[in-house]
A and B are shown apart, each in its own frame.
Chain A
Amino acid sequence: MFKYVNQPIEKIDGLALVTGEEKYTDDFSFNNMLYVSVLHSGYAYAKIIDIDDTEARKMHGVVEILSYKNVNQILYTTAGQGYPEPSPYDTLLFGKTMRFVGDNVCAVAAETKEIADEAIKKIKVTYKELKPILNLEKSEGSPIIIHKDDGAFPKIPVFYDAKKNIASKVEANVGDFDKAFKKSSRKIEFDFYCSYGAHCAIEPHASVSYLDLRGRLVIISTTQVPFHVRRIVSHVAEIPVSKIRVIKPRLGGGFGGKQEILLEPIVALMTWRTKRPAKLVYSRREVFKSTRCRHEYKTKLEVGYEADGTINALHLDALENAGGYGSHALTVLANAGSKTLPLLNKIENLRFTGMGVYTNLPVGGAYRGYGATEAYPGYAQAIDMVCEDCGLDVVEYYKKWCIKSGETSAIFQALGEGKEGVAMNIGSTSLVECLDEGAKLSDWYAKRKLYGPDSEYNKGKRLKRGIGMVAMMQGSAIPEIDMASAYIKMNDDGSFNLNVGATDLGTGSDTVLAQIASEVLDTPVESFIVYSSDTDFTPFDTGAYASSTTYLSGQAVRKCAEEIKKQILKVGAEMLSLSNDEVELNDSRVTAKENIKEEVSFAEICQYSLYQKNQFQIQATASHISPKSPPPFAVHFIEIEVDTFTGIIKVLNYTATVDCGTPINPVTSEGQVEGAIVNGLSYALFENYYFSPHGKMLNDTFGKFGVYTAFDVPPIKVKLIKSYEETGPYGAKSISEININGALPAIANAFYNATGKRLHNGPFAPESILKVLSEK
């Protein structure tokens, strides 16, 4: 059906990546460059009484030191979100109050990294240690106030109460939950705890800055959000936006961890003041402790239902640990409800309540899944419990009760990101087929019958087996808020420049966007010279988050290419002495509809239009905002084996069926599913932040934190099941986040199927599993 879309086109930067030719931020160095080191707080909560940097300044090779003493105290949010940001302005670049172990005290720029590191050691800081809050349940209303009289404020009019340590609060109601819950003949209450998690992108955070030949600040950075970087650096460093250029080169993974403005203001100030290039590269330990992570969550479900499985009322409550600062505290919280509840849209009485609280622990930020990951384990187990109680098969249950084509959920309107949401109807879904196909591929019905806690198979066995599943939704872009744009111009040889703000963090979006343009213009992907994520040369794009690049940026590219198409046809018609509707595009040519032999090539068209007659540059730009956020759907089936003697869970099989609309590039789409699944697995089975009694993260290396190697990956089956989303480019929705959400809920449900016990705490690490098994 499609020529370039839904084709396994090789990534256009692929060869340059695998031959080591492409460069990442730390691969850029400049003459006369300074190296920056940051001193981080060793205290979870402390006030800086004084910083004495005289010894450090005396050191040969130390050029500049930044601290609260010489940096203006300007409140901002580090969250890379659209302006005005839905995260509180509660952060200072170098403030006097340290709110978590890893917070920034000061920074040194020196001739070498070694000198900078040595200088850090010579800086004498006098702290007044304060009693910290190290438990999210002890935060609200605590006499210890983490943002006390510091002027922190919400940038948009939302609930914010720093005096009670509340960084965010959300409530949405549909119908009358209390009444319907009371009236229900059966009730379930269920709670689930999700741990801290880390992105573990293999490339650490890095930023390099320099002044160009006209004195403008250029920042090369490991960022998912170049345009937000520009704006926020301007605000914090007090440099006009027009004097700042932000470039994202190749990026070594982000997963949300680089949707944060952390290092850029530091190097920006260093360069602006010293007039010299500056480079800051975080060590792996700094990435673990001082960047962002997945929020710790406690969710509670209350479900009122009837014997036939009809759910009358459902309440999802979420308590979120924002950490020392509130970046993404509101939006992750809102998504915990908005990316879960609409899935079962026939529930007439819904309540979502959520609160994000400050603690003196590492700061949660954007992380693939973004609230949905933390809400599904409780939600999906509650559904599993309802089905068990009513004697229903879960797959059949989802098939019956899930949201269908043309339907809506009141939650879409009720729950936005800091303001009202956007109502929408489902325009595309293959969820039911995903359920059926996944059940078939995973041998669901047979295995569900074979296993089971009281089954012959599992009775008396040390190694018990079970199978569990979960059906999920996410979103595609943030409706009516995020915008993407594209620019295309044509060159003499029939090639095109495609400039997009959209950020390729390894997802292959540069290639995917070129495929979309290829499809419009009926010309191979190689015809496109893609340049992305440079605030001087590429038009605006909010950046790579909220699963938006294919859906939103892709639609901007499509619209832009359509404009180019019009211009090409016009010139081609002129050259062929035909009218516009007598010609069509045909494989990098314009041909007469009536006679394919009457043709003129793209190269000829461009040469004509640039040099010969009625000259003009064939070029166009287009922008796009989406009126809706059509959800991708996914169903995950996981078969596990539990060693009841050691508590070790082994995943035997993982089956995922996914509806992302039209997969623009099936290979990169599968890659997204596989990568998200493996990340979801490690988060489900062992990822955690272990803290000292004083709030310091103890397992801050890959070896101690734990990252899967190729050896640890179980057999994974992925099947993409198409649907067609009219509002997306060639029917596409999104795929990048949703599949990280499946492991926790599906493994928990499989665990119940194997042992008859419910899991209330992630990660499902051996010792805690053994504890659960030994409980009555």
Chain B
Amino acid sequence: MKLEFKINNTSKAFELLPNETLLNVLRNNDFTEVKCGCNEGECGSCTVLLDGKPVNSCQVLAMSVQEKEITTVKGIGTLYTPHLLQKTFVEAGADQCGFCSPGMVLASYSLLKENPKPTREEILTALDGNLCRCTGYVKIVDAVEMTAQKLQTNNLEME
């Protein structure tokens, strides 16, 4: 069947089966920025935001989220108009292989949007569903702290 979904602020019609996960539907419709690391809700590389909150899209049945706002990492910022958070990830060296990066960016974005001055514990909690095997998380946490710092110093709002 064909249904309308709201992705990254646009309406898109997808062909899908009623038993398909949101991850599958997204990847089959060229949203390859949403990755599949385990398909069991354990690694977070399939993270998308549903109404601003991070979820594992591999554990979400697409039919149940037709009315939600879905945001992938490209909805935060693109290669052509990157978000401050994404630029800071690169600056901090938080990107090694990059496979966890879309999920990390979305989880961090969701945190900073609600809480622009998070404590270290709040950052670690926000990222506790995103696995990374390359970085040891050190520079990823740095990147989030740096972004929060930049927001404060430059009196910016998290867009």
Question: Are chains A and B touching directly in their complex (CB below 8 angstroms)?
Answer: yes
Report which A residues bind B (CB closer than 8 A): 8, 10-11, 13-24, 26-27, 199-204, 250-253, 255, 281, 283-284, 505-508, 667-668, 670-671, 674-679, 701-703, 707-711, 713, 716
Given contacts A18-B89, A710-B140, A671 and B134 within 8 Å (CB-CB): yes
Asked if B97 contacts A11 (CB within 8 A), the reply is no
19 sample A-B contacts, Cβ–Cβ < 8 Å, listed by A number: A15-B90, A17-B95, A18-B95, A19-B73, A19-B78, A20-B74, A20-B102, A202-B133, A250-B97, A252-B99, A667-B93, A671-B136, A671-B138, A702-B38, A702-B43, A709-B129, A711-B127, A713-B137, A713-B138
Other-chain residue from B82, B102, B127 in contact with A15 (beta carbon distance below 8 A): B82
Asked if B91 contacts A10 (CB within 8 A), the reply is yes
The residue in chain B whose Cβ has the minimal distance to the Cβ of A702 is B42
Asked if A671 contacts B139 (CB within 8 A), the reply is yes
B residues in contact with A678, CB < 8 Å: 136-137
Asked if A202 contacts B90 (CB within 8 A), the reply is no
The residue in chain B whose Cβ has the minimal distance to the Cβ of A283 is B39
Given contacts A200-B133, A707-B133, A716 and B138 within 8 Å (CB-CB): yes
When chains A and B are docked, how far (Å) is the Cα of A21 from the Cα of B90?
Answer: 14
Asked if B97 contacts A203 (CB within 8 A), the reply is yes
B55 within 8 A of A: no
Give me the 7 closest cross-chain CB pairs, A-B, nearest first.
A506-B97, A20-B33, A17-B98, A252-B99, A678-B136, A14-B90, A674-B136
Q: Which of B102-132 contact A (CB under 8 A)?
A: 102, 105, 123-125, 127-132
A residues in contact with B43, CB < 8 Å: 202, 284, 702, 707
Report which B residues bind A (CB closer than 8 A): 32-40, 42-43, 45, 72-74, 76-79, 82, 86-87, 89-102, 105, 123-125, 127-141
Given contacts A14-B90, A18-B102, A252-B99, A710 and B127 within 8 Å (CB-CB): yes
The residue in chain A whose Cβ has the minimal distance to the Cβ of B107 is A710
Other-chain residue from A201, A703, A716 in contact with B133 (beta carbon distance below 8 A): A201
Asked if B132 contacts A18 (CB within 8 A), the reply is no
Other-chain residue from A200, A251, A508, A709 in contact with B127 (beta carbon distance below 8 A): A709
Other-chain residue from A26, A202, A668 in contact with B93 (beta carbon distance below 8 A): A668
Asked if A203 contacts B99 (CB within 8 A), the reply is yes
Asked if A202 contacts B100 (CB within 8 A), the reply is yes
Asked if A701 contacts B99 (CB within 8 A), the reply is no
B residues in contact with A710, CB < 8 Å: 123-124, 127-128, 130, 132, 137, 140-141
Asked if B40 contacts A703 (CB within 8 A), the reply is yes
B residues in contact with A505, CB < 8 Å: 97
Asked if A15 contacts B86 (CB within 8 A), the reply is yes
Given contacts A283-B39, A506-B96, A667-B93, A255 and B79 within 8 Å (CB-CB): no
The residue in chain A whose Cβ has the minimal distance to the Cβ of B33 is A20
Central interface residue in A19, A21, A24, A204, by most chain B CB within 10 Å: A19
The residue in chain A whose Cβ has the minimal distance to the Cβ of B141 is A710
In whole Å, how far is A680's beta carbon from the nearest beta carbon of chain B?
10
In whole Å, how far is B106's beta carbon from the nearest beta carbon of chain A?
10
The residue in chain A whose Cβ has the minimal distance to the Cβ of B105 is A18
A residues in contact with B92, CB < 8 Å: 667
Asked if B45 contacts A202 (CB within 8 A), the reply is yes
The residue in chain B whose Cβ has the minimal distance to the Cβ of A287 is B38
In whole Å, how far is A655's beta carbon from the nearest beta carbon of chain B?
14
B residues in contact with A18, CB < 8 Å: 73, 82, 86, 89-90, 94-95, 98, 101-102, 105
In whole Å, how far is B25's beta carbon from the nearest beta carbon of chain A?
14
When chains A and B are docked, how far (Å) is the Cα of A21 from the Cα of B72?
Answer: 11
When chains A and B are docked, how far (Å) is the Cα of A203 from the Cα of B86?
Answer: 21
Asked if B136 contacts A24 (CB within 8 A), the reply is no
Asked if A202 contacts B131 (CB within 8 A), the reply is yes
B residues in contact with A15, CB < 8 Å: 79, 82, 86-87, 90
Other-chain residue from A252, A284, A508 in contact with B35 (beta carbon distance below 8 A): A252
Asked if B93 contacts A253 (CB within 8 A), the reply is no
Asked if B137 contacts A10 (CB within 8 A), the reply is no
B residues in contact with A676, CB < 8 Å: 136
